[in-house]
Structure 1
Amino acid sequence: MRFVHCSDVHVTGDYFALPLRRLGWRRWLALAELTVGGRARAYRRAPETLARIAQEAREHSADHFILSGDLTAYALDSEFQGAREAMGAWAGDRRRCTVIPGNHDVFTPGSHRSRRFERHFGHLLESDLPEHCREGAFPFVRLVGEEAAVVGLLSARVPAVPGMAQGRVGPAQLEGLAAVVKDPRLAGRALLVVVHHAPLTPRGRADHWFHGLRDAEALFRLLPGPRYAILHGHIHHRYHHVATAERPHLFGAGSSTLAGREGYWVIDVAGGQVRGGRMYTPGAPHA
């Protein structure tokens, strides 16, 4: 079986076409990052790049398309709509697509209260094993063929102030994930667990306090060995840490639409094990 994994696509709206009062103070602060920091320029072609990745997923004969959060720049409704449109038919079929929110998708309390992510992608959160849900829709389980299952976790929380981008799965979801792992209906299946925040950095270390996944070690304890993989984003670097006896495979998808660093993973599963993955650049020739 084959999975395409991308992340942090950051579809970016036209912030200067909106009244400042509608943006709110958090986005006012973010305007410096968009302009002086170059974020708006770096993600100018994000919709086109995401659409290309979605097309190439079909060319790879992928069984399932995974996007591990940060669909938007700062959680505008138009950005969610743009991301869904770019994903095309994948986004309409929960049997073939998994999408979770990242910290940029809950950037403001208002975006969280109004369930803006769910308005566009809530249909993808319905679980095939709903008895294991513990925090709203999470963790949800998607059965994929006979050999694999995808599990979606929520680690993105509304930050107290911009710049505090740490993540937390929390004890309720971890308890639900433990029940998923023990469920006899999943015996013999590889489990691909999707979470936004990175359990480790590319160098194999814990990320810093204001950016990392706070309960990464608890997550590792539930998922030892090559039957399991954690697919994440948040850190804009693409890498793969091979599974050990103590922890699963880790696939960091980087920022899949960042100009000059575009890319995604194709991950293969066979015999109930995660067999590895290969990185691709959208638009480049591939076998």
Structure 2
Amino acid sequence: MQPDVEPPPAALRRPLRILHFSDIHLKLNLFHMPLHKWFGKRSIGAVNLMSGRGRRFDEAEEKVAALAGFARRQEVDLVICTGDYTALGLEHELERARRVVAPLMRAPSGFVTVPGNHDIYVTDVVRQRRFLRHFADVLVSDLPDLCSDGPWPLVRLIGDRLAVVAVNSARPNPRPWRSNGRIPEAQLQALERILADRRLDGRFVFVITHYAPLLRDGRPDTPLHGMVNGDEFLAACHGLKRGAILCGHVHRRYHVAVDGVAGGLYCAGTATMAGREGFWLFELDHQGGLRALPGEWDGEGYRVLDPQPAAAGA
């Protein structure tokens, strides 16, 4: 069960604090990978891990524990993760991911998430509903009448100040050279209805998904790596006067302006990749003003840097 979404009394006297992290890619012990999984795209992924990519995430579990400690010290009210907990989406990887991030799920106003492409790596993950099973208790919408594709889009209402709308852009990519994503049309149509729904009136709105519709220079990602219908997604978000888009997938933290979205787009990058660790800590005040604090790993723990200037209308 999700905790009560009403912020605790102390939080009512200060800004609401939201931690956004992504792409922790907990390291996979390939000796635990069943023999029958060493075929197709997973075999290519395993080779990539053995060739060195996996070493960049050697300390991922320890860093997630440190991030949970950081969240407690910062009195974070809500935690958001935009996916890619795993490397290859195996059953035991998702079991472990759920266990490792459990301390972050204990934030007073809960935990909101979407899967990443590595969590839905190939079709058997979807067929066996692995991600949905392991994260079922946090994939519950406060507005279930607006879901159109299983639990998606998922809406969480946090007190009377904030709404989080989670849209799933991850899908299996059996072809080894492709790691792109797509938001189903049914979800895009539902997203437009949600953003126009009066139950969100007066709230700051985070729209979260795994794939980045834009890179830090404002251009779309490549067709083989990015969100193939990113333009349609941005069109559905157009007119969001008090809100922002949160994403992951690209392993660098950045903020970029988005036409028609007051707060723009915040990519959390990766919280655990050696040399690129990053996240965002947001503070939402009582007037709906958003302050975005970029975060980094300093070799011993996580810390926040100077805040990003608030976007107009954010």
TM-score by length of 2: 0.85
Counterpart for residue 265 of structure 1: 280
Alignment of 1:101-116 (within 5 A): 101-116=115-130
CA RMSD of aligned residues (A): 2.0
The one-letter amino acid of 2:131's match is F
68-77 or 16-25, larger mean C-alpha shift: 16-25
Alignment of 1:132-211 (within 5 A): 132-211=146-225
The one-letter amino acid of 2:47's match is A
Q: Does 1:20 align with 2:26?
A: no
| Contact 1:148 1:272 survives alignment (8 Å) | no
Give the distance between the partners of 1:12 and 1:192, measured in 2 at CA. 29
Counterpart for residue 227 of structure 2: 213
1:82 to 83, 86, 96: 96
Call closer, same or farther: CA 1:273–1:165 in 2, change over 3 Å. farther
Report deviation, 1:286: 5.1
Counterpart for residue 50 of structure 1: 64
83-92 or 162-171, larger mean C-alpha shift: 83-92
**What are the superposed Cα offsets for residues 183-241 of structure 1, whole Å, 9 maximum, x if unpaired?**
11110101101100001011110111111112222222333355121110011110012
Give the distance between the partners of 1:18 and 1:243, measured in 2 at CA. 41
Counterpart for residue 4 of structure 1: 19
Call closer, same or farther: CA 1:246–1:41 in 2, change over 3 Å. closer
**What are the superposed Cα offsets for residues 69-118 of structure 1, whole Å, 9 maximum, x if unpaired?**
11100102222122222222333679510111011111121111111111
Call closer, same or farther: CA 1:272–1:119 in 2, change over 3 Å. farther
Give the distance between the partners of 1:131 and 1:178, measured in 2 at CA. 14
**What are the superposed Cα offsets for residues 34-76 of structure 1, whole Å, 9 maximum, x if unpaired?**
021x122111111111121122112221111011011100102
SS at match of 2:66: helix
2:270 to 247, 255, 258: 255
| Contact 1:226 1:273 survives alignment (8 Å) | no
| Contact 1:65 1:90 survives alignment (8 Å) | yes
Give the distance between the partners of 2:303 and 2:119, measured in 1 at CA. 32
Q: Does 1:227 align with 2:230?
A: no
| Contact 1:190 1:273 survives alignment (8 Å) | yes
Give the distance between the partners of 1:113 and 1:55, measured in 2 at CA. 35
Call closer, same or farther: CA 1:94–1:155 in 2, change over 3 Å. farther
Report deviation, 1:130: 0.3
TM-score by length of 1: 0.92
77-86 or 27-36, larger mean C-alpha shift: 77-86
Call closer, same or farther: CA 1:48–1:152 in 2, change over 3 Å. same
Q: Does 1:34 align with 2:11?
A: no
Report deviation, 1:273: 3.6
Counterpart for residue 70 of structure 1: 84
| Contact 1:226 1:244 survives alignment (8 Å) | no
**What are the superposed Cα offsets for residues 151-196 of structure 1, whole Å, 9 maximum, x if unpaired?**
1111001113123111111221111111111111110101101100
Count of residues in correspondence between the two structures: 286
Alignment of 1:237-256 (within 5 A): 237-242=252-257, 244-245=259-260, 248-256=263-271
Q: Where do 5+ consecutive residues of structure 1 fail to align?
A: none
131-140 or 93-102, larger mean C-alpha shift: 93-102
Report deviation, 1:271: 4.3
1:281 to 280, 296, 311: 296
Identity of aligned residues (%): 36
The one-letter amino acid of 1:110's match is D
Give the distance between the partners of 1:174 and 1:272, measured in 2 at CA. 29
Q: Where do 5+ consecutive residues of structure 2 fail to align?
A: 1-15, 306-314
Give the distance between the partners of 1:115 and 1:135, measured in 2 at CA. 13
| Contact 1:91 1:121 survives alignment (8 Å) | no
